[in-house]
Structures are given as structure tokens and as C-alpha cells.
Amino acid sequence: MFECSLTSDNIRFITGVISRYNCRYSIFDDGTIQQTPSSPTTFEIRRSMKSTNHLTELVCRKASTPGKKLSDGQGMYLLVHKNGSKYWRMDFRLSGKRKTLALGVWPEVSLTRARKLREEAREQIHRGIDPLKHKRDQQRKRSASEERTFSVLCEEWMQRQKPRWTEKHAFDVRRALENHVLPDLGHLPIADIDRREVLSVLRVMEGQGKHEAAHRARQRMEAVFNFAIITGDCDANPAAGLTKALTPPRKKKMPALKPEELPEFLQRLEDYQGHRLTYLGMRLVIYTFVRTKELRLAEWKEFELKSENPVWTIPAERMKMRREHLVPLSSQSIQLLRQVSGISEGERLVFPSQNNPNRPMSENTLLYALYRMGYHSRATTHGFRSVASTILNESEKWHPDAIERQLAHVESNKVRAAYDRAEHLPERRRMMQWWSDYLDALKVSAQ
């Protein structure tokens, strides 16, 4: 018996030679060719391990072992999943990197069609073209209406988040994405966007010196991709894990007065010559240390001034953390509000605009008042929250949790946070009265 190992391309030639010698031969399913000539000699020619077209449609139909790869040669195989689905895959190497190309699902993509796709991919590789990239490029040429693009998923994500966001935050998120991300990624199918494309967008922002904005953009892109994974529109998140690839932003603290500068400031405030409503608003911000927006949009219906325990209830939709907030009112705060009512009584807003009572005081009104007082770049209304936190903590009179709760800082334990809007409220009432008395004492000492 004579044996030799040949490629499939040589089998036709060999069988032709055998036919010339009037030999009988058979080709078996395992690729073996056996010939029996008139003489006692037997030829057995076995197919080479590198041959192709190993599979048949019958073998594909019977394949059922999960995780099994049935090779058809030249990198192509049929992969059986746990759910019984069968996927055509092709492993190849290009530029020293091993990659896998998806060719479709059997039986929608038949064995014959899969082999044709394999040959097309091999031809692309031979010409130095990456079949994966070529496939992506072809998909991107489809009509945007037929694709689940980043822009489409981004819009869906923002709509889902809208109930949790303030109107201003929603506006800021949309504007940032429209300015920096959507021009480059918006038209692309979200499943085809890779890490390099995401990083390229962020690098452009860094090149413009917008390091903090780049970090926020990455966070928002990561959220959009996570949303797309949940909806089944993509399998991976190319924006995740890129934090260390970005330049850390410099943290900028809002200008705030030092505690020892507070007496002089309070004295200057008493000498303020601007609009009376601006003066009263500034004083109330200091007494209550709420955020500027929470003060500007305050409505009279939120105040219980005649209660045994006067309180200002700020609704969740106006709070940064989207949670209702209680502000116990000191006797000084109540006196201020009574003065304010002499100006805006009968209006919906406590601090309306001078030009239109149906609109709130401008967001820059209090800031510009600080500028006129000589505190440009030295203080902001938000900075009074920092001053209050420092003095209240250093006094060691109040529980740290009571201070944090009054500052409306987020509770890390979300389950606990859902039930503690009034936590430490009796102590907070005493603390707010102490704070107002403390400020009045500072003002007297500065005179």
C-alpha cells in the first residue's frame, strides 16, 4: 500500500491518473480516497490537514454540542451556542493581530454562502484590507433611518433621564453632547463605534484645553453605551475605562470668604445701595445657605411662616439631588421674609424679576451685587455654603450628619436617603437659629 498526503487541489489530478490505470476508487466522508487497481497494489491517498470544505449541510444540521467548533478549513468554523443557535465565524491574522469575523447565522447563511464569504474575506486580507473594518464601513453607508445610531440612542437615554434631572442640568447635558460628541459620533451605528473613535473625540476636547469637559463627556458617553447594552443595541462599552487615558482636570474651588472675613462682609452688606430685594435675598441666602437657584425660584406657597416650627419646603424638582429639602427658618429669616412680602406680596415668586414679576430674579443678580461690593473673584453666593459648613463643623456643637443634611448633600446610602428628609430636624432647627444669632453677633462686632 502506498500513502501520500495531498491538498484538495491535487485530488482531481490524482484521480485522473488512477483512472488512466483503470483503477477503481472510492471517496469516503472523512476525506480518504482508496483505489484498487487490477494488480495487488493499493493506493490510499489522504486529504491534507490544511484542506478546506470539511463540512456538509448534514453535519451542520446535526451539530448540537454547545461550544463546539466545527472547522470547514482556512479559519472558518461553525460555532454552536448554548441556546442551539449556530454561528459562522472566521479567525484570521492581520498585522500580527488575531481577529474573528462574523459571517452570519446558519441556516439563514448556508454552508455554500459562508464559504463564499470566507473567500471574499481571504481576498481582502490578501490585499491588506481588514474584513472587520470593511464590514463596518459598509454598514455605515446604510440609511440613518435604518440604523440605531449613537444620536438616536443618545436621545432615548436623555429622555429616560429627564425625570431625574433639573431643567438646567438637562439643558447642559444636551448642549455639551451636541457641541462635542454628536458631530463626530452621532451618525454612526452605536454597535460599530470603537474605543479609538471615542478617544479621538475626547482628545480633540483636550487639545482645546477642555479637560474637565472631556471627563464629563466621557461619563455621559459611557452612560449612553450602558443604556444601549441594556436595550440590546451594542455588546460593549468603548467609553468605559478611559479615565486614565485622559489628563486629570484641575479642580477649581468656587471663591469663598474665609471665616475671619465674614464680619467685614456683613458690614459692607449693610451699606449696600442696590435694589432692596437684592439686599434681602443676599441676607436670606447667608442665613439659610441654600443654593442660589433654590432661592431665585422660591414660591410663597413653599413657606410655613405662621407654624409653631416655621419651615421652607423646597420641592424635589428644584433640588440638585432631586429630593425634597426642609429648611428650618430662624426668627431672623422670618423677619426678612416679612420685609420681602412687602415688595412681592401677591406674586407667585418670592424674588421676582424687576422687569417681569412672572419671571424669577436673574441668576447673576446676587453675583453682580457681590462685584459691586468689591468681592469680584473673592466670593460667590455658593461660597456661603462652604463658610457655613466650616464654621458649624468647627463649633463642634452640631452632629456632622445634621450639618450635611442641612446642606442637602447626597446620602451615599440610597435606601436610607429615601426615608430621612426630616432626619435630625429638631437639631437642625436649633442649629439654624444658632447660625443666625452667630451672624448677627459678627455684624455687631464689625461696627
Single-letter code of the amino acid located at 356 = N
**Taking the mean position of all CA atoms in its chain, how far away is CA 114?**
38
Instruction: Name the residue among 224, 220, 218 with its Cα closest to residue 247.
Output: 218
Map residue 391 onto helix, strand or coil: helix
> What would you report as the CA-atom Rg of the chain, rounded to the nearest whole angstrom?
37
Inter-residue contact 185 to 223 (CB < 8 Å): no
Q: Per this entry, what is the length of the chain?
A: 447
Give the angle subtended at the CA of 427 by the CAs of 313 and 335, to the nearest 5°: 55
**Residue 401 neighbours by CB distance under 10 Å:** 15
Q: How many Å apart are CA 111 and CA 338, to the nearest integer? A: 84
Give the position of cell 461553525: 78
Start-to-end C-alpha separation, the chain: 119
Inter-residue contact 92 to 102 (CB < 8 Å): no
Inter-residue contact 153 to 224 (CB < 8 Å): yes
Dihedral pair phi/psi, residue 207, rounded to 5°? -65, -20
Residues annotated catalytic, as ranges:
291, 320, 382, 385, 409, 419
Angle, to 10 degrees, between the axis of helix 195-207 and the axis of helix 211-231?
160
Angle, to 10 degrees, between the axis of helix 150-161 and the axis of helix 211-231?
90
